[in-house]
Amino acid sequence: MSESRKQKIAYIVSMHAGLETFIYREVDDLVRAGKAIRLYATRFRAGDIFAPKPEWSWLAIGKTKLLLMIPWVALRMLTMPRITRHALKHGGLVDLYFAILFAADMRRNGITQIHAHFGDHKFFIGYYCKRILDLPLSVTIHAHEFYTNPNEALFREALAAADRVFPIARKWMEKLGSEYGVERDRLRLNRLFVDTERYRPQDMTTVIAVGRYTERKGFQYLIEALKQLKDTDIHVLFIGFGDMDLAAIAREHGVEERVTVFGKMDQDQLRLMYQMADILCVPSITTEREGAEGIPVVLMEGMACGLPVVATPCGAIEELVDEILVPERDVDALAEALCRLAGNPELRRQQGERNREKVCREYSMANIQRFGEWLDELSEYEQTVSSPAGG
C-alpha cells in the first residue's frame, strides 16, 4: 500500500468516564502494533485514569463548539438531502450532526476506514460517516445492543451497511445472523483478550468482585450470601465504581467488617488484586434496564491469573465459565459454592489451572492479532466497495 493510502482507522468511542478498560487496552495494543488510529469521542471528561495516552491521536468536541457549529452543520445537511431525510425518518439527527463534524476531521486526517466500538450511537455516527465519506465501516458488538439499544431501527440500518461486524461472543454472532440478517461472510467472532503473561496466579486469599456498582452485577446477592458464611473465613473485595452504595448494603446486612469497597483501579492495580485473591465471584443478573452480560472481561482477567470462579449464567458467561455456575439471584446456591471453594484449596487450585488454560487457549493475545489482520482485510476490501457518497 502506498504511503498516501496508508491504513488510518477512525475509532468512534465514548470517553465520558474515560475509555472502557478493554477498549483502552485494545487501542493501546493496536497502536503499539503499528496501527494508525485516531479516536473520535462522542463524550469526554478529562482526568480519568483511562483517558487517552499523550501520544494517541484523538478528537473530542466541546459543548461550546458543538453549539457554535450549528449553522455550518445545518448548511451541510442541506447539501445532502437524502442522508438528512434518512436521519429525520430514523431518529438519527443528532448522530448525523456528530457524523458531519467527525467526517470533516476524518477527511482532513486521511482516514481510510471507520470502526465503532459498541453498536449504539457511536455506530450510528460511524454509519453516517460511511455514507458521507464512502469508507469501509466495522463495529464491535457486545450485548447491550440487543437489550437496551437506543435506536433499534437505526441499529438494523447500520448493520445492513457495515462491511464487517465483530461480535465478541458466539451467542451474539448467532443472534446477528438469525435475527438481524447479517451474512456470515461479514461476521467475525472477535473474542476479547487479556495478556496472560501479565494476568497470572498468585498464592493469596480473599474473594474478589469487579465491575460497575449497578444492579446487573448482582453484588447485593454476594453481600447477602456473606450472612450465611459466618463460620467461613471469607473477605470480599469489591472493585469498581457506580451509584450503588455497597458499603451501606454491607452495613444493612451486618457484614461490613467482611467487605472492602474500592474505587476504579488502573490495570496494574487491578492485576495485583486478582493475584492476591483466592476466588473470583461474578454474580451477575439479567435486568430490564441493563439487559444481560456479554462476556465480562473481568472473568478473563481473573481466570488468566488462575482464579477459580463462582458465577451465574447471565448473558454469554457460559461460553467462558464451565464451573462453578449458580442460578441468578440464588443467594443460597451462591453461599454454598463459595463455602465449598473456600474450604477446599486443592479444588481451587485445580479449577484455577483449568480456567487459566482456557483463557490462554481461547482469549489470549492471539485474538487482538487476528482482529488486526481482519482490519487489514478491510483496506483491501475498500478497493472493491462502491457506495454513493453523501447526498
Categorize the per-residue pLDDT at 237 as very low, low, confident or very high, splitting at 50, 70 and 90.
Answer: very high
- For residue 302, give the C-alpha cell: 481473573
d(CA 209, CA 302): 10
Q: Give me the mean pLDDT over the 350-367 stretch.
A: 96
> What are the extents of the domains in the chain?
3-193+365-382, 207-362
Contact 141/166 with Cβ under 8 angstroms?
yes
- Determine what percent of the chain is predicted with pLDDT higher than 70: 95
pLDDT in the model for residue 4: 43
d(CA 190, CA 178): 18
- Taking 70 as the threshold, does the pLDDT of residue 5 lie above it? no
Q: Give me the mean pLDDT over the 82-110 stretch.
A: 96
- Taking 70 as the threshold, does the pLDDT of residue 261 lie above it? yes
pLDDT in the model for residue 176: 97
pLDDT in the model for residue 2: 44
d(CA 362, CA 345): 26
d(CA 348, CA 341): 6
State the average pLDDT for the chain.
93
Tell me the pLDDT tens digit for each residue of 47-93. Answer: 888 999 999 999 999 999 999 999 999 999 999 999 999 999 999 99
Parallel, antiparallel or unpaired: strands 137-141 and 113-117: parallel
d(CA 119, CA 264): 25
Tell me the pLDDT tens digit for each residue of 270-319. Answer: 999 999 999 999 999 999 999 999 999 999 999 999 999 999 999 999 99
pLDDT in the model for residue 3: 42
Q: What is the fold of 3-193+365-382?
A: Rossmann fold (3.40.50)
- Taking 70 as the threshold, does the pLDDT of residue 202 lie above it? no
Categorize the per-residue pLDDT at 388 as very low, low, confident or very high, splitting at 50, 70 and 90.
Answer: low
Same fold, 3-193+365-382 and 207-362: yes
Q: What is the fold of 207-362?
A: Rossmann fold (3.40.50)
Q: Give me the mean pLDDT over the 98-122 stretch.
A: 97
- Determine what percent of the chain is predicted with pLDDT higher than 90: 87
d(CA 146, CA 64): 33
pLDDT in the model for residue 199: 86
pTM of the model: 0.80
